[in-house]
Amino acid sequence: MVLRTPLYSEHVRLGARLVPFAGWEMPLHYGSQIQEHQAVRQDAGMFDVSHMRAIDLIGPDALSVLRRLLANDAAKLTVPGKALYSCMLNPAGGVVDDLILFRLDELAYRAVVNAATTAKDLAWMHHHLAGERVDIRPREDLAIIAVQGPTARDRTASCLPEALRARALALAPFHGVSDGDWLVGRTGYTGEDGFEIMLPHTEALALWSALIAAGVRPCGLGARDTLRLEAGLSLYGQDMDESIGPLDAGLAWTVAWTPETRDFIGRQALSARRDHPERLDLVGLLLTGRGVLRAHQPVLLEGRIIGEVTSGGFSPTLERSIGLARITPVDRVECAVEIRGHAVAARIVKPPFVRHGRIRVTL
């Protein structure tokens, strides 16, 4: 069964190229992936990400359960509306999923998880929450629209319910405000500023239409991927998975080691990995030769394989191929990538490649 978001008919009307993604039929682009990418970098673009699932965890034990489920510490969410990014780990330290967690109120939290892992995440939560005073509520009644770009917040504000407009514009990054079933968060996945808006399915089309009238360009999954790659942001299933933990995926900053008494799932395995001599680095790659970086291509140093590309593609902003790679730590900058049997010159750089419209690496 193919799933469709509440905005499916609107995507058809706009002439989107629709493709299967994680069981959903989603827009890849609306005519030009590169123009959509540039709209987000230079102005404002929006994405229908209603295939992602909001899951509410409500009850007296919600916080204690989340402190056990997540590598980051939900206790950091000291006030309603505050959000954090975290990985949910298995006992071996691999990533079950990565997610954003909002605190809604004293007893309620909302996790926003990946579309492809929703069923697995829910089963994992139910298994580990058995016997706890927590109600798990998948919010299938909600749509999610992400608006991103340097003018995104200003263009979006007038389209929001009046009770949210001023509060949304006053948000600090990784905070949210809510009114009824609406939640506006200042988060994103593009390296630009903006909002991610959760709202009832029945109101999604009206908001989408208002955003178009306000000058926000519809964008598809193609631009979303090139934008997140330029921003050096990880993608579940490529840059980390159930066999690759946060320490080897450039996500060590998401692990809260203190207090030491917090025994989150996977902590023992991560502790053993923390100073392991075979621990890997996630780095950026800038291809200086001709070709396109793709996942699983070997990374070479003096003819020796030191790792592999995890995510790669063409960067519209840099106008060359870039990628993320998991490699053995090295003190060299020049390397090569094996592309179709040939060693193509590349350079190791520190992500992000682009952030807030600025190129952050030397070309």
pLDDT in tens, the chain (363 residues): 899 999 999 999 999 999 999 999 999 999 999 999 999 999 999 999 999 999 999 999 999 999 999 999 999 999 999 999 999 999 999 999 999 999 999 999 999 999 999 999 999 999 999 999 999 999 999 999 999 999 999 999 999 999 999 999 999 999 999 999 999 999 999 999 999 999 999 999 999 999 999 999 999 999 999 999 999 999 999 999 999 999 999 999 999 999 999 999 999 999 999 989 889 999 999 999 999 999 999 999 999 999 999 999 999 999 999 999 999 999 999 999 999 999 999 999 999 999 999 999 999
β-pairing verdict for 182-185 and 194-200: antiparallel
The DSSP element (H or E) to which 41 belongs, if any, is helix 33-42
pTM for the predicted model, two decimal places: 0.97
Whether residue 72 contacts residue 84, with contact meaning beta carbons closer than 8 Å, is answered with yes
Reduced DSSP (H G I as helix, E B as strand, rest coil) percent helix, strand, coil of the chain, to 5 = 25, 35, 40
Contacts of 40 (CB under 8 A, 6+ apart): 148, 149, 190, 192, 219, 223, 227
